[in-house]
Structure 1
Amino acid sequence: MISKRARFINFILRLLKVQQRLADYDTGMKFLARDRKNGPARPGRWFKKHTQINEHSIDGHKIYEIEPNQGASRHHIFYLHGGGYAFQIVLVHWATIKKLIKAAGASVTVPLYPLAPEHDWSQSYPVVMQAYEKAAAKYGAQNITVMGDSAGGGFSLGLTQMLRDQGKPLPGKVILLSPWLDATASDPSQQELEQHDVLLSVQGARTAGQFWAGEGNDPSAFPVSPLFASIDNLPPIALFCGSHDLLYADALRLKDKAKKHRADIALYVGEKMQHVWMLLPIREAKLAREQIIAFITR
């Protein structure tokens, strides 16, 4: 049985009709305009007190490098935030990153990568690749966990596949949180999953996927949809998703692909959990974080 707080959050999101608003093109663009006006969330007071924050830019896009002042470990997290490849990093991302630093003693790199629809994958991947290579040179690729939620989860898998294809040093581990792996939202089961999801819709995903692919480009192509690329010779992957998430279909297809190719992918399913539930202030997310920390530090 899911917690009372999780049920309450789901109730509020459904009451606010978030899914329907994001699915409508005009309303979604209004949300996006407001997001651009507000700007990205920044690391809060805790970070300023307990970590060293270093900022630099790649092609005009900010990259945060954060190191704990005390209890630092060898672990480094390369975190790619979600938001349909279009929305900026928000406070819940920073809250999650804070908890990971506290629990694992990890240093963290957070690229604020170029966003759609102003940019597409071809402009965003080079920025993130440069940020990763800098982190790998500083911390050692084997000590890095590439991690992301939703679109950031898709980006995390696509980045790791691209590193492999280019013969570059791979991270030691990969963590995917409700990852968006198929930008076409073409799985038949997603029509039913859409009835349970309070955030995502098939139409909204397809619109955002085309933005990320770029005008006139195929959203099923790699790396826009990393699900359809090879998963051979990748580092161990921990995959978290909820059974009431539109992207549960992507997670199941990736796990099925892993079985066929004998890839090292562990799937953790939150029963009746929504999209990116592991970032929320609920009991179920605390358990997920414990599993995430165990995976990073093992």
Structure 2
Amino acid sequence: MRKHCDIERREINGQPLYWLAPKTGASSLHIFYLHGGGYAFNIMSLHWHFIKKMIRKTGASVTVPIYPLAPENKWDTSYAMVMEAFEQTVARHGVENIVVMGDSAGGGFSLGLAQMLRNQGKPLPRQLVLLSPYLDQTAADPMQLDLEKTDVLISVEGLRRLGTWWLREGEDPAMFPASPLFEPVDRLPPMLVFAGSDEMLLADALRLKKKGDESGAEIELKVYDRMQHVWMLLPIPEAKKALNEIVAFLGAPTNRS
């Protein structure tokens, strides 16, 4: 990363916040990236490799907040840190240049952040990109029982356990923003959503798309056949195709290596 990018590290209440910018060929595009991991696991090398690919493909600069993790921290603590990180990013890059992007729990976080900004009457990012988003802490969709049979990473029990870690005792797992799927999705930026046909969180993506269609939201859903959870981050041809579709959605140049 350091070979190709200038990297700046700051902290918000003791939590790291990274700004990355390409050393050459920088564009005005800025990606605010929220990593996955069930809100309980830290950022991984796969995330950094994906971020590096996005930078090389688009010339974008990137903000990566390392938010407080469950179970030691709950949703409100993490959202407070991410909101502060986003406002600092807006001040630095301009909200009109920012795309909020995230995978798995980071995808849920991305949607929840945009909804929270809308609810508070604050300026919104220009676009959202959600990769296998984790949007519902209840794990109560009947479809997920069938999808569990083909999902090699996630189980219904696992989702519900992660939900109990993310929430405070006695809180409703369907509450906002812990489960952004149940909050209105109108008046949000255009969204590009990816899911795999063999992953449990396909159910979340399908319900998000249905909710968006009913409310007039601009949501494009791409479901890849026989793909697993967050396959977009893996070194496989389908991930390369998804990356090119993301670049096209962002309106970024596509002639980069």
| TM-score under structure 2 length normalisation | 0.97
Bigger radius of gyration among the two: 1
Equivalent position of 1:176 in the other structure: 130
Q: 1:276 aligns with which of 207, 230, 233?
A: 230
State whether structure 2 residue 88 is matched by structure 1 residue 134: yes
Q: Distance in 2 between matches of 1:210 and 1:236?
A: 31
Q: 1:196 aligns with which of 141, 150, 168?
A: 150
Contact kept, 8 Å, 1:189 with 1:249, in 2: the verdict is: yes
**Residues 47-126 of structure 1 correspond to what in structure 2 (within 5 A)?**
47-126=1-80
One-letter identity of the residue aligned with 1:180: Y
More helix by share: 1
Q: Secondary structure at the match of 1:249?
A: helix
**Residues 126-165 of structure 1 correspond to what in structure 2 (within 5 A)?**
126-165=80-119
Judge which range, 108-117 or 210-219, deviates more. 210-219
| Structure 1 position 50, deviation (Å) | 1.4
Instruction: Please give the root-mean-square deviation of Cα atoms over the aligned residues, in Å.
Output: 0.7
Percent identical? 58
Equivalent position of 1:248 in the other structure: 202
Contact kept, 8 Å, 1:75 with 1:297, in 2: the verdict is: no
| Structure 1 position 215, deviation (Å) | 2.0
Q: Secondary structure at the match of 1:78?
A: strand
> 1:154-176 CA distances to partner (integer Å, 9 max, x unpaired)?
00000000000111110000000
Q: Secondary structure at the match of 1:195?
A: coil
Q: Distance in 2 between matches of 1:214 and 1:82?
A: 20
Greater than 4 Å deviation, 4+ residue runs: none
> 1:255-283 CA distances to partner (integer Å, 9 max, x unpaired)?
00111101000001111100001110000
Q: Distance in 2 between matches of 1:203 and 1:127?
A: 28
One-letter identity of the residue aligned with 1:238: L
Q: Distance in 1 between matches of 2:184 and 2:225?
A: 28
Q: Secondary structure at the match of 1:48?
A: coil
Q: Secondary structure at the match of 2:141?
A: coil
Q: Alignment length, in residue pairs?
A: 252
